Amino acid sequence: MSTENEGTAVPPAPSAPPAPVDTPAASPQPAAPHPEQPPAQAPAAAPYEGHGPFAAHAPQQPAADGSGAPYGHTAPDASWPPPPPPGTPTYGGGGGGGQGGWGASYQPPAPKPGRGRGGLVAGLLIAALVAGGLGGGLGYTLAKNNDETGSTTVSASDTGGSLKRDAGTVAGVAAKALPSTVTIQAEGSNGEGGTGTGFVFDKQGHIVTNNHVVAEAVDGGKLSATFPDGKKYAAEVVGHAQGYDVAVIKLQNAPSDLNPLPLGDSDKVAVGDSTIAIGAPFGLSDTVTTGIISAKNRPVASSDGSGSNKASYMSALQTDASINPGNSGGPLLDAQGNVIGINSAIQSTSNGGFGTGQAGSIGLGFAIPVNQAEFVAKQLIKSGKPVYAKIGASVSLEETANGAKLTEQGVNGADPVESGGPAAAAGLKPGDVITKLDDRVIDSGPTLIGEIWTHKPGDKVTVTYERGGKERTTELTLGSKVGDD
């Protein structure tokens, strides 16, 4: 399935509360943010696209005009990470290099018509705000008329702030978590940018978010983070991981009273568990929505729709909590208020609303599991660069239901199975089709990549594969790849 985070700009409107007079020194408020770049499409029940932790390049799709260029994109190069596969989800949503690069060339399948993309792009929901104002006016008129009739009303015994909101309620979780979330505004050196969300990771002022939220500001851009109380801080990018779609930024002059959100265990999450998402959908900061975990281990490949050949891959938590453009990078919480994921991508019908042309939630949102995100964030804080697990082989990103095929050719003349690499040491050869990784069924190259990235370098995995029509198994120790290049 594929996802994206782009959309048509809408009339400017505030996406975050104004900063109070006593706000700490920070960079000037950027101009109205451009919609957040939509995430790439990712695989789920529908076809998806993605790249992997072990040399894999997406097949080059022939253009409709027969030019041979992939759907309006330039042909993928040998750099890491691999390009998104056809039909990737939108943002909401890697390792080999030289030897055993991300992918290998292969014969592209015939283009599939009519695949839509939806995106988690930052935007402003003007129509909804106007409707709210109208409702207020009608309410006043009705109340006034009611008074003139002399009717008697009855007041509730407990209202508003006098009600007790237990820690396990949605209101209780939101009250505790909101002060530790921020609305992020990123502006590139070209003046373009977008809005997303992030959450406090530690007391040192590190904020975790999506790579696609801050990508515009990586090279000479500007970043700011605004808390729900209106206090705004300038920030800088500490590190970012294109393949994982995770980034860490750090507040400048961070306050001493930061409260990091507690991190849960995404491996223990079950389908049906309650979820709470916090973000800035369409620029509406500090919005809380609820739902459940609707699926686990959903293979998703997503990209920002910019036309680059790189995509992000995840074995995602799927939720029906409402996630829209601007929710990207925000926390997905469990019923106790623990972070279980980072909202990253959505599947959408791509038929946008409110005249924006942007796609919105249809109940299919995807979050990066927090166990993976925590590992990536700590690596970024430590060295500024991501570390990816890899098998050291080129894999086809062609969409199939039969498994992940190791390609017969490598990238730019490199060996399809890296000499001396993990796959070679495990006895794998070009043409082998991997069907399972441990107990996880593998139906395609992007699925294999997403599953490998849930592991750490050095982990031992059992690989089930087919060769010559016979099923075999082997033990493989995952290697490592540092950086996105």
Q: Report, as residue numbers or ranges, the catalytic residues.
A: 212, 245, 328
Tokens representing residue 420 in the block? 């001396």
Amino acid at 66: G
Closest CA to 115 of 57, 71, 83: 71
Query: Nearest 10 degrees: CA dihedral of 445, 451, 456, 457?
Result: -20
Contact in structure between 311 and 88 (CB atoms under 8 Å): yes
Closest CA to 13 of 266, 227, 283: 283
Specify the 3-state DSSP secondary structure of 176: helix
Q: What is the C-alpha to C-alpha distance for residues 108 and 393, in angstroms, rounded to an integer?
A: 19
Q: What is the C-alpha to C-alpha distance for residues 197 and 139, in angstroms, rounded to an integer?
A: 33
* 312 DSSP β-pair partners: 302
Tokens representing residue 191 in the block? 């003046």
Place of tokens 């980034």: 247
One DSSP character per residue, 410-441 reads -GGG--SB-TTSHHHHTT--TT-EEEEETTEE
Element (H, E) at 226: strand 222-226
Q: What is the DSSP letter of 119?
A: B
One DSSP character per residue, 299-334 reads EEEEB-SSS-S--EEEEEEEE-S---TT-TTPEEE-
* 225 DSSP β-pair partners: 184, 233
